[in-house]
Structures are given as C-alpha cells and as structure tokens.
Amino acid sequence: MKTIAIVNMQDYNPGLHILSTFSAGEDQLTNADLCRRNFDELISELSLQKVGEVYHSFEEGGYTAVVCLTESHVSIHTWPEHKLATFDVFLSNFEKDNSEKVRAFFNRTIALFNGTVISKQEIFR
C-alpha cells in the first residue's frame, strides 16, 4: 500500500508556479492589447495551448488579464499608478516537466515588458 501511495504522489506532480511583482513603464501597464500580443507571442514560442482568455481594462488606466491554457494559467494585474504589476505563470507537468517553460515565460515576459523584477517566488505545487 505504501508503495502505491508513493507512486501516486509521483504521478501527481502539477508543476511550477511563479508569482511575481515587477515594475514597468506606463505603456506596458495600461496597454492591454500590447500585453495580449506579448502573451500570444510567448504562447506560440513555447508551444503552449490557449483555451480561453479575459482581458479587462479599468477606467483608471490599469488592466487585468487571465489566460487559460491546457497547461494551467497565466495572470497579470497592473497598477500603473504605482508602476507595478502582479504576474503569475503556472504550468502543470501533465505528460512532461514544464518547469523550464514556466521560467522561460517569466523571463521573456519581463524582457518584453522591459520590466524590473521586484519580487519573485517559485512554488512547486
């Protein structure tokens, strides 16, 4: 019984979740269309599969977005009044280990946004 339990734990290995806060310029934090183009480019580059998305712009200037992937999700919530965004990437490991894709999505996003990382946490779920 114990062996089976261990095997089950190894089978269930949902993946790496990066949670971060980064600073960026006003255009990056108010232009939801630019964010969508950046995310779509990365989803294509990394061969991820999008199953739906929500991009919502606030009157105050910021936006909030979630992108649902077969591999899990990406989210961003921007605070242009503070030049900051909270940004998450979580990819499950169904069929293969996607940890390097999580890190690549994170690093490429920061580069595309010309951002500066304020905080970053890697959580293996």
Chain contacts with a copy of itself (rule: CB under 8 A): 8, 11-12, 14, 17, 19, 21, 51-56, 58, 64-70, 72-73, 75, 77, 79, 82, 84, 86, 88, 90, 92, 119, 121, 123, 125
Smallest gap from Cβ 100 to a copy of itself, in A, equals: 20
DSSP code for 80: G
For residues 110, 98, 94, 78, the Cα torsion angle rounded to the nearest 10 degrees is: -10
Spell out the SS3 assignment of 22-60. EECCHHHHHCHHHHHHHHHHHHHHCCCCEEEEEEEECCC
Q: Which is nearer to a copy of itself, 53 or 112 (CB)?
A: 53
Smallest gap from Cβ 108 to a copy of itself, in A, equals: 21
Residue 79 has φ and ψ, to the nearest 5°, of -130, 75
Smallest gap from Cβ 56 to a copy of itself, in A, equals: 4
Q: Which is nearer to a copy of itself, 44 or 58 (CB)?
A: 58
